[in-house]
């Protein structure tokens, strides 16, 4: 028994981006399906892919035979964790009938090619598709939050979706107390809600706010992000819609106070006044930012957030999940 985790190849450069954009602009389902089967690549590392890679690593730590699969069969990621956690790769075409194949939501079309057990890992509300035979007895659904479980219930009626714990890497994002961070520094990811960030910053400053200094972070590697996450005291969650929502969870692990949108419930780790401060509009977030100028509140939320998210550290719920999963499929 082997677990095969399908992930996209990582291909960077203008030529690959041009090809991808051409496929998107074609708006042809046949072209999109062909592209998926022949290439299946991305030009940046997404959180959902990182989560799948971490699951592969935890499965191996629990004694399972587990490998990553790409269409090319090559490892295009290298030491993406920065912790020398090397993972074995195979070509997707080299899977075996007895393998248990975990397929990400954006590639579920490929489940139709799997002879044995297949698991559709539904991590994003924007990627749930019915392009595979989900009614098969040997096809299972995984997801990562109550929000996504509800979406799956509507998309795949009569097919239950099991909630699988995200994996938050506390080795990569160790806890650093607020007092050891740069006072008043707030991180935001412009790739997820740029306008929301700009409106929040402008409104905060218009109302006389001077404590929080906004710094936008984008286009850096996971290792670089982990280093940068040692600096800020706060993180602004700005996405309207989220998949596995790792950034707020990694921020909590690191001791950063999280403030902002709950992304319609995808940021399930954010409980207002307990693990974070939440606001769905710039005006609401600005009020939260003024509250967070209080050092005692920041210390309390940082510790509460860390304590809550600790359940998703690799040796806790994820390890328990994989121990049970291995037994289930033995």
Whichever domain contains 11, its CATH number is: 3.40.50
Report CA-CA distances (Å) from 196 to 64, 65, 281: 43, 44, 8
> What pLDDT is recorded for position 197?
97
Tens digit of pLDDT at every position of the chain (330 positions): 899 999 999 887 777 677 666 666 666 677 677 777 777 888 878 888 999 999 999 999 999 999 999 999 999 888 877 777 889 999 999 999 999 999 999 999 999 999 999 999 999 888 899 999 999 999 999 999 888 999 999 999 999 999 999 999 999 999 999 999 999 999 999 988 899 999 999 999 999 999 999 999 987 888 889 999 999 999 999 988 777 778 999 999 999 999 999 987 767 899 999 999 999 999 999 999 999 999 999 999 999 999 999 999 999 999 999 999 999 998
Do 28 and 158 fall within a single domain? Answer: yes
Do 230 and 293 fall within a single domain? Answer: yes
Q: Report yes or no on 229 lying in a domain.
A: yes
Do 141 and 12 fall within a single domain? Answer: yes
Q: Report yes or no on 22 lying in a domain.
A: yes
Q: Report yes or no on 172 lying in a domain.
A: no
Contact 206, 283 (CB under 8 A): no
> What pLDDT is recorded for position 51?
94
Classify the phi-psi angles of 276: left when phi > 0, otherwise alpha if psi is within -120 to 50, otherwise beta.
beta
- Give me the CATH number covering residue 272: 3.40.50.2000
Do 117 and 131 fall within a single domain? Answer: yes
Q: Report yes or no on 188 lying in a domain.
A: yes
Do 75 and 185 fall within a single domain? Answer: no
> What pLDDT is recorded for position 21?
67
Dist. CA 19–CA 16, nearest whole Å:
5
Do 264 and 321 fall within a single domain? Answer: no
Q: How is residue 199 written in tokens?
A: 């409106």
Do 323 and 295 fall within a single domain? Answer: no
Which helix (H) or strand (E) segment holds residue 205: the answer is: helix 194-206
Do 222 and 248 fall within a single domain? Answer: yes
Classify the phi-psi angles of 35: left when phi > 0, otherwise alpha if psi is within -120 to 50, otherwise beta.
alpha
DSSP assignment string, 67-136: EEEESS----S-STTSS-----EEEGGG--TT-EEEEEGGGGGGGGG-SS-EEEEE--TT-----S-TTS
Do 211 and 225 fall within a single domain? Answer: yes
Q: Report yes or no on 191 lying in a domain.
A: yes
Contact 257, 293 (CB under 8 A): no
Q: Is 149 exposed, middle or buried (0-12, 13-18, 19+ CB in 10 A)?
A: middle
Q: Report yes or no on 197 lying in a domain.
A: yes
Do 285 and 321 fall within a single domain? Answer: no
Do 35 and 163 fall within a single domain? Answer: yes
Contact 237, 266 (CB under 8 A): no
| Helices (runs of H) and strands (runs of E) counted in the chain | 10, 14
Q: Report yes or no on 101 lying in a domain.
A: yes
Within 8 A by CB and 6+ apart from 308, the residues are: 252, 269, 271, 274, 275
Rg (Cα) of the chain, in Å, rounded?
20
Within 8 A by CB and 6+ apart from 87, the residues are: 53, 56, 57, 60, 67, 68, 75
User: If DSSP codes are grouped into helix, strand and coil, which group holds residue 188?
Assistant: strand
Do 252 and 202 fall within a single domain? Answer: yes
Number of independent structural domains in the chain: 2
Q: Report yes or no on 299 lying in a domain.
A: yes
Among candidates 116, 118, 127, 135, which has minimal Cα distance to 266? 127
User: If DSSP codes are grouped into helix, strand and coil, which group holds residue 31?
Assistant: helix
pTM (predicted TM-score): 0.92
Tell me the pLDDT tens digit for each residue of 146-196: 889 999 999 999 999 999 999 999 999 999 999 999 999 999 999 888 999
Which helix (H) or strand (E) segment holds residue 3: the answer is: strand 3-6
Domain range for 293 is 178-312
Q: How many CB atoms lie within 10 A of CB 72?
A: 16
| Residue 182, CB-side half-sphere exposure with 13 Å CA sphere | 13
């Amino acid at each position: 028994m082997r677990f095969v985790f399908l992930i996209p190849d990582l291909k960077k450069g203008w030529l690959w981006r041009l090809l991808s954009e051409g496929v998107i602009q074609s708006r042809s389902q046949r072209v999109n399906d062909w592209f998926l089967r022949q290439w299946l690549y991305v030009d940046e590392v997404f959180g959902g892919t990182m989560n799948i890679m971490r699951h592969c690593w935890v499965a191996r730590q629990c004694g399972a035979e587990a490998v990553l699969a790409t269409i090319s069969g090559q490892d295009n990621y290298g030491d993406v964790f920065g912790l020398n956690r090397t993972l074995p790769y195979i070509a997707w075409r080299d899977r075996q009938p007895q393998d248990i194949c975990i397929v990400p939501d954006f590639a579920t079309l490929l489940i139709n090619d799997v002879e044995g057990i297949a698991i559709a890992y539904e991590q994003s509300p924007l990627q749930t598709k019915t392009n595979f035979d989900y009614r098969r007895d040997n096809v299972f659904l995984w997801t990562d939050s109550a929000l996504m479980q509800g979406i799956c219930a509507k998309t795949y009626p009569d097919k239950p979706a099991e909630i699988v714990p995200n994996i938050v890497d506390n080795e990569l994002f160790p806890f650093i107390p607020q007092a050891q961070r740069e006072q008043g520094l707030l991180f935001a990811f412009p790739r997820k809600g740029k306008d929301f960030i700009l409106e929040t910053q402008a409104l905060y400053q218009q109302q006389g706010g001077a404590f929080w200094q906004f710094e936008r972070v984008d286009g850096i590697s996971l290792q670089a992000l982990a280093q940068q996450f040692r600096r800020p005291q706060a993180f602004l969650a700005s996405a309207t819609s989220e998949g596995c929502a790792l950034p707020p969870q990694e921020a909590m692990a690191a001791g950063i106070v999280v403030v902002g949108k709950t992304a319609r419930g995808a940021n399930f780790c954010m409980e207002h006044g307990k693990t974070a401060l939440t606001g769905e509009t710039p005006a609401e977030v600005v009020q939260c930012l003024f509250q967070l100028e209080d050092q005692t509140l920041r210390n309390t939320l940082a510790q509460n957030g860390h304590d809550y998210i600790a359940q998703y550290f690799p040796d806790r719920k994820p390890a328990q999940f994989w121990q049970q999963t291995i037994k289930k499929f033995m």
